Structure 1
């Protein structure tokens, strides 16, 4: 099963405000991550995973067009 950022947070019983505080960022900034307007760095993603207690590989850290872009970029890189 895969979880979006907001699903993982809700599963952990945390509000956006509580998660923002745990992640040491403003609530506004955290909401941008949940809306996939920003992407967590690896250290932030690891911290998020620890707070929600959901396996790393079951959390969707980026979605939609960005996923497609990254996949096509990797394919281009592998063709070189």
Structure 2
């Protein structure tokens, strides 16, 4: 069953999903590093590189998905 969502509701849901995707894995990795007492400078630099790569990957996938359905156009 598929529901018809308004543009505003769809925007809010997409924003929520993107926020969760952007933050969940990096925060989980920081918790794991803290749990195993592995918060060294090198590990934090590796974590930062992973987080930047993760953000770029999610952004790339989202932009590809949005471009298939007509792009990022805002209509009044």
What TM-score results when the alignment is normalised by the length of structure 1?
0.27
Q: Which has the higher contact order (CA 8 A, sep 6+)?
A: 1
Bigger radius of gyration among the two:
2
What TM-score results when the alignment is normalised by the length of structure 2?
0.28
Larger helix share, 1 or 2: 2
